[in-house]
Chain A
Amino acid sequence: MKWWHIGLIVCLVVAVISPLASSSPDGLERVAEDGGFIGLGQEAPFMLIADYVFPGIENEAVATILAGLIGTLILFGVVCGLAWLIKSRKKESTEPAV
């Protein structure tokens, strides 16, 4: 088992405990409520997994965990892929052009 297997498992565990998160407004939302400008906020033009709740699942904790697991895996995959691309492009550019 490589170190990053364990690292990824730790991330997935964090996603699984995400329903324990505080549901109070965050710092910016609190300031916007107190400052009376929270109403300026607009709805997103489209919704996928809005507010980290996977749609169509009745149990909100399960829906949150599913959203968290999906996001965690997507970010691991996308950022590894991007890093790999950036790293590989360098090799091509240092090789003499044919």
Chain B
Amino acid sequence: MHIPDGFLSVATIATTYAVSAGGVSYAVREANKKLKEKHVPLMGVLAAFIFAAQMLNFPVLGGTSGHVIGAALAAILLGPWVAILIMSCVLIAQSLIFQDGGLLALGANIFNMGIVASFSGYYLYRLTVMLLGDGKRSRLTGGFIGAWGSVFLASIACAIELAISGASPLVVVLPAMAGVHALIGIGEGLITGAALSLVLKTRVDLWQLQKV
């Protein structure tokens, strides 16, 4: 879902850069209050994992592929603000070094795959665990729902930006983006669930770290 340069209008670029810059600087302040030494290696491993996993495109219907975003996994383990920081680092590196996602579109990509995906993934997870009661199964179910929702909502944000920019009318681009990402989200849900279940089996203490 990395938007290249050329798809977005100047107004959309400016707005998304401003919102993302504000979000990231607030995330730094929140992290500054709560981050402990124990969080450091988990943040590094999650960033490395999200980068590597994003390279692994899996096929979905009709000659289309998708890859995980990873924001929901990071947000569930460490909270949405830390997830925004991790996603921003991944997206900046992808744009600067790997020419994946435009430099001008970076603000929009951080907004969609960082801010929208982290918050939606985190709160859908929390909501599921609250409704089902805490337990192994409800955490994994919440992980799946949060991950699916994060992709779905990020794709809707992306579609709205494309429509506002005049790349494609909303009535066309919104159902198209939401439809294909509803499928990609299933992959995100399964991979997030698998990663969370690995954490649950091996190092459940990492899941108990204070959320930021």
Contact = CB atoms under 8 A, between A and B. Distances in A.
Interface of A: 2-4, 7-8, 10-12, 14-15, 17-18, 20-28, 30-32, 34-37, 40-42, 44-45, 47-52, 64, 67-68, 71-80, 82-84, 86-87, 89-90
B75 interface: no
A25 B62 CA distance: 10
A61 to B, nearest CB: 12
B168 A24 contact: no
Given A12-B52, A47-B99, A75-B47, A26 B5 contact: no
B180 to A, nearest CB: 4
B98 A48 contact: yes
Given A42-B6, A89-B32, A37 B52 contact: no
23 contacts: A3-B203, A7-B45, A7-B49, A11-B49, A14-B55, A15-B52, A21-B55, A22-B58, A24-B65, A25-B64, A26-B66, A30-B64, A35-B173, A36-B168, A40-B6, A40-B7, A75-B44, A75-B48, A75-B93, A80-B40, A82-B85, A83-B39, A90-B33
Contacts of B93: 71, 74-75, 78
A8 B48 contact: yes
Contacts of A72: 48, 51-52
B7 A86 contact: no
Contacts of B28: 86
Secondary structure of the B side of the interface?
A: helix
B5 to A, nearest CB: 5
B1 to A, nearest CB: 5
Interface string B77-103: 000000001100110011011111011
A8 B1 CA distance: 25
Given A52-B100, A86-B32, A26 B43 contact: no
Contacts of A34: 176
A71 to B, nearest CB: 5
Residue of B45, B96, B162 with most chain A CB atoms under a 10 A cut-off? B45
A48 B53 contact: no
Contacts of A73: 48
Contacts of B37: 87
A3 B7 CA distance: 42
Given A34-B176, A75-B51, A42 B2 contact: no
Contact of A8 (B4, B45, B102, B184): B45
A68 B52 CA distance: 6
